[in-house]
Amino acid sequence: MGAAQSGPKITAQDRAVLDLKIQRDKVRQYQKRIEVVLDAEKRIAKEALAAGRKDRALIALRRRKYQEQLLVKTDQQLETLETLVSNVEFSLVQKDVMFGLQQGNSVLKEMHKEMSLEQVEKLMEDTADAVAYQREIDEMLMSSMTLEEEESVQQELRALEVEQLGLPAVPETVPVGQLPEVPTTVPEVPETAPVEESQPERRVALEA
Amino acid sequence: MPGLELAPYQTPSGFTLPSIHSWSAFYTYQPNPRTLATQTQHWTQLLLTYARARRLFALSLADADLASAGKGAWAEVLHNPRLKPPSTSAHYTTLHACAVLLPASFFAPGQAGAESVILCWRTVGEWAGVLHDWALQTGQTSTILTLFEISNPPVPSELSDIPEPLLRRAVGVLQRSGKAQVIEGEGGGGVRIFA
Amino acid sequence: MHRLGGAGIGGLQRQTQASQAYKPLSSAISRSQIDGLQQQLSTFREALTRFAKEHRNDIRRDPEFRQQFQRMCAAIGVDPLAGPRKGGWWAELIGYGDWTYELAIQIVEICVNTRDMNGGLIEIGEVLRIVRRLRSLSGENDSEAVSEEDIVRSVHTLSVLGAGYQVVTVGSRKMLRSVPQELDTDQAAVLEVAQEAGGQVNEAALVLRKKWTSERARTALDNMLMRDGLCWIDDQAEEGIVYWVPSVMLWADDGGTGGF
């Protein structure tokens, strides 16, 4: 736009760098904004768990994981592209970069959809419409999630369960005054914990 | 004689309001032009000092509305709940006149003209200097920077949260002296700063 | 005005010169008479010099002493500020003239800087307070104390300039008017009522206290607001429209003093 621009000529490479950076900026902005959504999902997971709807809690947690990962991955990808652009002869990677930019744009559009709190609330509803939405989401999430991600979702679920049952409070607060009682109550905890930990491995093995 | 002495007041957040802030007439539009000029000058000084202390970059009518309910970043200064009647909330016109007259402020573009003003507690020229120094110190000269990453740097800087219209003006100053190059991208602006 | 044309040291000096000029003609005035006069003058001068030197610090520091000294000078027809140079020959000796002039200049600055706020009317007490703050004096016991008397005296030295600086009494207090316009009686009355209410005044108060008609009260207030800029309007008070006179209000800081 500017008339008397001084400095070096603005190349296609410059523009690519700028566009990549702008995309990364957007990812960063989404990262800030999505905190609210992530918190809402965690709350929903807790509520579902308290209501005995473990399936719904899982959907909420999976959704949460998916969104987090989406941001991290997009950010990494854009960073890689940026490094590529600044280190490699631009003409060699121009096509890849342009493709990356396009991809980035579509991910950002997807992210934009994820920003709505309304969608999150839908996870708790019982209407036919909402149930259909829940199933759809769950299928989509399950198919796009890696084993590691699923494992970490399961761990989060267990953490929530433990929190809700108030189990971890025992070893942390009791020690000082009530030592004599410990032997009768504590043994059960270490017994259940390892069992739970081994569970997902079994599941993974079965699924694999 | 009633023991009415106007005294400075320190807000819970530690800002010292001048005694004129405790004077109800300060919140009424003054019809005498000379008095109005004095009033405006006092408001201007107060608002800029406060903005600088709190790093507030803009003042909008929405801020004034919020403040009259005792809420928002500007509540402490635009609202005085200690007065009787309890709230002589910031007088709209007075405030607005002040904002317009702030020596170096300007309306944020795209805000339907009168919605928000950018408060320049540093002049645009000074901001240009800050920007140039920052680019030098962080080794980011000659690289392409987005305006967003300048106002949202990973390491907080003097430029953190600077509004885009103000940043663009500062860039404009550097551009005119050949120290910066502006590049417009899709969905955002960028700049290249030279040493 | 304090300048005394015929009497005082300046007068004596002039008289001596005149005597010399008339000498050929005046055989009536004997040589010895003039010598005697000269003698008296130099003795007086010596005494005064000794006194001034001895009490130099007291004169500078102690407002009470300064006032006594001032009275003594006035009694014997000597103007401490008179003389060839700006401070007068012996005012120079004690640095007293400079001191008064400095104070006068400071007063002018204060008046000019607060005029937009108070319409050119300021309480002497307020002037004193600002002077003390400007000079970083803690109070009356300070070694370089300034008193209300000093302010008033300095204002008198300003009147020579014809700048319209004038001390007026409003109600119980002395005020300094720094614009040429005289206060009319209605203005003075409004100021008095405002002063008693901490700076606040309205139509009803004037009708009640001064037995004025509403019309007269309204006119007086409107004049003070629009013509003189002596008061601020406040339309948010519970009792309706109220006028505030900043110059008779009490300010704990710079609020009423516009920039000080």
Residues B113, B147 within the same domain:
no
Residue C246 contacts residue B38 (beta carbons within 8 Å): no
Find, among B115, B195, B99, B183, the residue nearest to B146 by Cα.
Answer: B183
In a domain, C222, yes or no: yes
Tell me the two tokens of residue C8.
């005082």
Cβ distance of B84 and C238 shorter than 8 Å: yes
* CATH code where residue B145 lies: 1.10.10.10
Ordered strands of the C121-123 beta sheet:
C121-123, C173-177, C166-170
Residues C129, C43 within the same domain:
no
Find, among B12, B167, B22, the residue nearest to B84 by Cα.
Answer: B22
Residue A104 contacts residue A74 (beta carbons within 8 Å): yes
pLDDT on residue C4: 43
In a domain, A1, yes or no: no
Which of the residue ranges A85-99, A180-194, B180-194 would you say has the lowest mean pLDDT? A180-194
Residues B25, B104 within the same domain:
yes
Residues A139, A58 within the same domain:
yes
Question: Which of C85, C114, C139 marks a domain boundary?
Answer: C85
Find, among C187, C180, C175, the residue nearest to C164 by Cα.
Answer: C180
Residues B98, B34 within the same domain:
yes
Residue B170 contacts residue B131 (beta carbons within 8 Å): yes
Question: Which of C24, C52, C85 marks a domain boundary?
Answer: C85
Residues A143, A206 within the same domain:
no
Question: Which of B60, B89, B118 marks a domain boundary?
Answer: B118
Residues B102, B173 within the same domain:
no
pLDDT on residue C217: 92
Q: Is the pLDDT of residue C257 over 60?
A: no
State how far the Cα of B74 lies from the Cα of A142, in Å rounded to an integer. Answer: 48
> What is the full DSSP assignment across B34-69?
HHHHHHHHHHHHHHHHHHHHHT--EEEHHHHHHHHT
pLDDT on residue A201: 42
pLDDT on residue C259: 41
The CA R_g of chain B, rounded to the nearest whole Å, is 19
Domains in chain A, number: 2
Among C29-33, C80-84, C220-224, the range with the most confident prediction by mean pLDDT is C220-224
Residue B61 contacts residue B92 (beta carbons within 8 Å): yes
Residues A65, A100 within the same domain:
yes
Domains in chain C, number: 2
Residues A71, A25 within the same domain:
yes
Residues B42, B133 within the same domain:
no
Residues C33, C132 within the same domain:
no
State how far the Cα of A58 lies from the Cα of C131, in Å rounded to an integer. Answer: 75
Q: Is the pLDDT of residue C235 over 70?
A: yes
Residues B155, B62 within the same domain:
no
Q: Is the pLDDT of residue B155 over 50?
A: yes
Cβ distance of A26 and B187 shorter than 8 Å: yes
How many CB pairs lie under 8 A apart between chains B and C? Answer: 88
In chain A, the residue whose alpha carbon lies closest to the alpha carbon of B186 is A19
Q: Looking at per-residue confidence, does C162 or A146 come out higher?
A: A146
State how far the Cα of A46 lies from the Cα of A55, in Å rounded to an integer. Answer: 12
Cβ distance of B23 and C244 shorter than 8 Å: yes
Q: Is the pLDDT of residue C95 over 80?
A: no
Residues C69, C198 within the same domain:
no
Q: Is the pLDDT of residue A133 over 60?
A: yes
Q: Is the pLDDT of residue B183 over 80?
A: yes
Q: What is this structure's pTM?
A: 0.65
Cβ distance of A10 and B188 shorter than 8 Å: no
pLDDT-derived band at C203, boundaries 50, 70, 90: very high
Mean pLDDT of A181-205: 44
Residues B16, B111 within the same domain:
yes
Chain C (81-110) residues lying within 8 Å, Cβ to Cβ, of chain B: none
pLDDT in tens, C13-23: 666 666 566 55
Residues C29, C155 within the same domain:
no
Q: Is the pLDDT of residue A177 over 50?
A: no
The alpha helices in chain A, defined as continuous H runs, are 12-50, 54-87, 90-114, 117-122, 128-144, 147-165, 169-173, 182-185, 188-207
Residues C205, C108 within the same domain:
yes
3-state secondary structure (DSSP) of residue A192: helix
Question: Which of A152, A179, A195 marks a domain boundary?
Answer: A152
Does residue B85 have a cis bond before it (omega within 30 degrees)?
yes
Residue type at position C141: N
In a domain, B161, yes or no: yes
Average pLDDT, chain C: 74
Which of the residue ranges A27-31, A35-39, B150-154, C141-145 would you say has the lowest mean pLDDT? C141-145
pLDDT in tens, B7-53: 888 888 889 998 888 888 888 888 898 888 888 788 888 888 898 99
State how far the Cα of B105 lies from the Cα of C172, in Å rounded to an integer. Answer: 46
Q: Is the pLDDT of residue C213 over 60?
A: yes
pLDDT on residue C220: 92
Residues A140, A177 within the same domain:
no
Residues A76, A35 within the same domain:
yes
Average pLDDT, chain A: 72
Cβ distance of C198 and B2 shorter than 8 Å: yes
Angle between helices C63-75 and C31-61 (to 10 degrees): 160
In a domain, C94, yes or no: no
Residues A16, A96 within the same domain:
yes
Average pLDDT, chain B: 81
- Considering only CB atoms, which chain C residues are within 8 Å of B30? 232-233
Q: Is the pLDDT of residue C99 over 90?
A: no
Question: Which of C34, C55, C85 marks a domain boundary?
Answer: C85
Q: In chain A, how long is the greatest CA-to-CA distance?
A: 84
CA distance B43 to chain C (A): 11
Residues A32, A84 within the same domain:
yes
In a domain, A158, yes or no: no
Residue B136 contacts residue B178 (beta carbons within 8 Å): no
3-state secondary structure (DSSP) of residue B182: strand
Q: Which domain holds residue A32?
A: 12-152
Question: Which of B82, B100, B118 marks a domain boundary?
Answer: B118
Q: Which domain holds residue B186?
A: 124-193
What separation, in Å, do the N-terminal and C-terminal C-alpha atoms of chain C show? Answer: 30
Residues C124, C189 within the same domain:
yes
Domains in chain B, number: 2
Cβ distance of C251 and B88 shorter than 8 Å: no
* CATH code where residue B84 lies: 1.10.10.570
Residues A108, A62 within the same domain:
yes
State how far the Cα of C76 lies from the Cα of C70, in Å rounded to an integer. Answer: 10
The burial class, CB within 10 Å (0-12 / 13-18 / 19+), for C34 is: middle
Residues C129, C253 within the same domain:
yes
Tell me the two tokens of residue A111.
């992210």
Q: Is the pLDDT of residue A199 over 80?
A: no
Q: Is the pLDDT of residue C69 over 60?
A: yes
Q: Over the range C145-156, which residues count as b (16 or more CB within 10 Å of their CB) and which as e?
A: bbeeebbebbbb
Residues 6 or more apart in contact with residue C98 via CB below 8 angstroms? C86, C87, C91, C92
In a domain, B2, yes or no: no
Among A32-41, A178-187, C223-232, the range with the most confident prediction by mean pLDDT is C223-232
* CATH code where residue C112 lies: 1.10.10.10
Find, among A196, A16, A145, the residue nearest to A93 by Cα.
Answer: A16
pLDDT on residue A84: 74
Residues C160, C73 within the same domain:
no
In a domain, A185, yes or no: yes
pLDDT in tens, B83-116: 776 544 455 545 555 555 555 566 665 544 456 7
In a domain, A157, yes or no: no
Q: Which domain holds residue C209?
A: 101-257
Residues B128, B106 within the same domain:
no
Nearest 5°: CA angle at B28, between B25 and B46? 75
pLDDT-derived band at C160, boundaries 50, 70, 90: low
pLDDT-derived band at C8, boundaries 50, 70, 90: low
pLDDT in tens, A82-94: 777 777 677 777 7
Find, among A181, A150, A151, A185, the residue nearest to A168 by Cα.
Answer: A185
Mean pLDDT of C30-45: 69
ipTM of the shown complex: 0.78
Question: Which of B85, B118, B151 marks a domain boundary?
Answer: B118
Dihedral angle sign, alpha carbons of residues A26, B190, B151, A76: positive
| pLDDT above 70 coverage of chain A, percent | 75
Q: How far is CA C242 from CA C194, C216, C238, in A?
A: 10, 16, 9
Mean pLDDT of A145-155: 84
Q: Looking at per-residue confidence, does B176 or A3 come out higher?
A: B176
In this complex, is the C-beta atom of A1 within 8 Å of any C-beta atom belonging to chain B? yes
Q: Is the pLDDT of residue A142 over 80?
A: no
